[in-house]
Chain A
Amino acid sequence: MSVDTANPPMEAVASTGGNKDLATRALIVGLVGLGIALIGLMQGWRAGDSRPMLGWMIGVSYWLTMGIGMLFLLMILYVFDAGWSVIVRRQLEHALSGFKWVGLIFLPLIALSFFYPQNDAVPWIWMDPANITPGGEPVGGDILHQKKSGFLNVGFFTFRTIFYFAVWIGLAGILRRCSFTMEKDGDPKWARLAHNVSAVGIYLCALCATFAAVDWFKSLEYHWFSTMYGVWFFAESMRAGLAGTMVLCWILATRGYLKGIYNRYHSYLLACLMLAFTVFWAYISFSQYFLIYNANIPEETFWYNIREMNFDGTKNSWWWVSMGLVFAHFLFPFLYLLWYHNKFDRRALFIAVWILVFHSLDIYWNILPGQIPSDENILGFVVRPFVPHWVDFFTWLGVGGICVWSFILSSRKVKHIPIRDPRIVESLNAHE
């Protein structure tokens, strides 16, 4: 590779004008999408149907996991004093400005469940002791819930969720403040402070992400338990965060302000991280499956059984989703990213978009299948099938619009790359 000294167009660095038109359009898309989804949510609420609420959770989780991944990535880059990533880091900081809005959009789920846990639309069935579990027993008489109720009760659940968001929004805010203040006074002490905050923040964020995954997703089937679940959530978040970063940088480098700044080497390293976390995701997802498969205990295996077959052993719709995850969410990106030439330009963009598409499938697979009590068969429940709902789509669209709007708004406030960062020259000249 040739030694190409980056020659950033200075007017692009100096100006801080974002695309006003695009920001407005993104905000309109966001508000309209959320408005339509909210109608669906209210309809479901009145009818006692939990599917729209799950759809809302799926739509928000898609972007929330991406944000958590980006927050982790930001802190990891700080902790390792990474030099190459300084110009990418600023884009992460802008993207994290959307965290508070995502938190606000998540709020209806928590508020409705907190005030009206008896409503049948609440997806977490343990919230109401009168709810019937598969088999006909009410939650209140279920020993497995009684033993867990010290942790799994509505008050503590709501408090925890607020705490997670406080930690995420707080960490994102502190790290943004450090970086943006350094832009003004040029004092490298802000880089050291961000480094130290990240060192503590990684632990905090890891704990919050783990417990959030347990609370929101795993407790949908509160009988089930797996110590790998939080790690899965982290791995999936990192994959979504890295793929989102790759797409973001590609857009900014081809038609935005990173033209001539974001180079091949930045793309190469992001793609290497994507490969690493693709392997990591497969490793922990398979480990979880493998241990439960080998132990073969009914308390654990049912969670995979409902994702594979109907009561009579025939394959249900989730089996195809599972195969999609194995082959399209792992095997294809893994083999594709092994090739050096696939880590640049459009080829890297392609796999990033691919991962983001199948990211939605993984979110569906973890949230949606559930046991709905029924007398139809001998098991006493039917599995909620894999059928996308329009609330999923409009929530996804709405949160996405809000995130894009928030990004553009934040990118107008400071310079597009942190030109006073101690490692900015290293990042601009990054090469193999």
Chain B
Amino acid sequence: MRALHMGTITNRNVLFNFERPPNRNMSKTYGLIATFGNTHSLYQAAEEICEAGFRHWDVYSPFPVHGLEGAMGLPRSKVPTFTLIGGVTGFITGMLIAWYMGEFDFPLVVGGKPYFSPIFPFPVAYEMTILLASFGAFFGMFITNRLPRHHHPVMDFKKWPGITDDQFLILLEARDEKFDLDETRKFLETLKSLEVVELKE
């Protein structure tokens, strides 16, 4: 990054650490990466890995592959739950604000209406519903994706920048119960992958 600031090196290989010397601590296996040349083999591989019962793994692709989440056996996103909780909280909060102010904090007759009724503060509760529901959706997405995260070991893979272009990867993490370096490597090699590379941490 320092080189970039100085404006002397513009080669993106430096930016992405293509030729980075091995870290002294990089000895532990993080996982195995299999690369694929097209979406068909990627899709089939995802199906087979899912069937084999792996749980800690992910697929990287430059563009969305329709139906891939089904092939991977992923459940539906949990984000709507956050949205719903946010919305309900917002509605109750809005109503409670109006109720507390009207009944206790500052009772005032406005236009002959009662101190509290669920009708006139409805826009307040409604806006609070929308606000907190959007917060729920926004932060729910961050929480379920475990964001913000600035670095991931898969970014050390030398062909990593290619996944924004023409590379399809599958990463099986070593923490998976079914993971065995040699066995899993053999398994991945049977899946029409172009190459299987070990990823150090």
Taking beta carbons and an 8 Å cutoff, which residues of A are in contact with B? 1-3, 286, 289-290, 293-294, 296, 338, 340, 431-432
Which chain B residues border A338 with CB–CB below 8 Å? 80, 84
Instruction: Contact check, B122 vs A340: say whether CB atoms are below 8 A apart.
Output: no
A293-B69 contact, Cβ under 8 Å, with A338-B84, A340-B76, A340-B80: no
Q: Which 4 A-B pairs rank lowest in CB-CB distance, beginning with the nearest?
A: A3-B67, A1-B70, A2-B70, A2-B67
**Distance in Å from the Cβ of B126 to the closest Cβ of chain A?**
9
Closest to B71 in A: A2
Residues of chain B within 8 A (CB-CB) of A3 are 43, 66-67, 70
A71 to B52 CA separation, bound complex (whole angstroms): 50
A331 to chain B, nearest CB (A): 12
A70 to B190, CA, bound (A): 53
B148 at the interface (CB under 8 A from A): no
Report the minimal beta-carbon distance from B95 to chain A, rounded to whole angstroms.
15
Chain B interface extent, by class: 10 to 19
Q: What's the least CB distance linking A287 to chain B, in Å?
A: 9
Q: Mark B67-85, 1 if CB is under 8 A from A, else 0.
A: 1011100001000100010
Bound form: Cα–Cα A293–B43 in Å: 58
Contact indicator B76/A1 (Cβ below 8 Å): no
Q: Is the CB of A431 within 8 A of B119?
A: no
- The verdict on A431 contacting B122 (CB below 8 Å), with A338-B84, A340-B80 known, is no
* Minimum CB–CB distance for A263 against chain B, Å: 13
Verify B112–A293 contact, CB threshold 8 A.
no
Q: Can you show 10 pairs from A to B with CB atoms below 8 A apart?
A: A1-B69, A2-B67, A3-B66, A3-B67, A289-B119, A290-B119, A290-B120, A290-B123, A294-B111, A431-B66
Find chain A residues with CB under 8 A from B76 CB. 340
In angstroms, how far is the closest chain B Cβ from the Cβ of A192? 28
Closest residue of chain A to B84 (Cβ to Cβ) is: A338
Q: Are A296 and B111 in contact (CB under 8 A)?
A: yes
> Contacts A338-B84, A340-B76: A294 and B120 contacting too (C-beta < 8 A)?
yes
Q: Are B122 and A286 in contact (CB under 8 A)?
A: yes
Closest approach, in angstroms, between the C-beta of A163 and any C-beta of chain B? 38
A1 to B70, CA, bound (A): 4
Give the Cβ gap from A276 to chain B, nearest Cβ, in Å: 15
Taking the closest CB of chain B, its distance from the CB of A245, in whole angstroms, is 25
| Pick from B43, B67, B112: contact of A431, CB under 8 Å | B67
Query: In angstroms, how far is the closest chain A Cβ from the Cβ of B108?
Result: 15
- Chain B, range 14-62, C-beta contacts under 8 Å to A: 43
A3–B39 Cα distance when bound, in Å, is: 12
Residues of A within 8 A of B71 (CB): 2
* Nearest chain A residue, comparing its CB with the CB of B119: A293
Q: How far is the CA of A296 from the CA of B119 in the complex (A)?
A: 13
Given known pairs A294-B111, A338-B84, A340-B80, the reply for A1 and B67 (CB within 8 Å) is yes
Residue of B nearest to A286 (CB): B122
Nearest B residue (CB) for A340: B76
- CB A299 to nearest CB in B, in angstroms, measures 16
Residues of B within 8 A of A293 (CB): 119-120
| B70 contact set on A, CB distance < 8 A | 1-3
Cα distance, A293 to B80, chains bound together (Å): 34
How many angstroms from the CA of A431 to the CA of B68 in the assembled complex? Answer: 12
Question: How long is the Cα–Cα vector from A431 to B66 in the complex, in angstroms?
Answer: 8
* Identity of the chain A residue whose Cβ is nearest the Cβ of B83 in the assembled complex: A338
For the complex formed, measure the closest distance between the CB of B91 and the CB atoms of chain A, giving whole angstroms: 12
- Smallest CB separation, B65 vs chain A (Å): 9
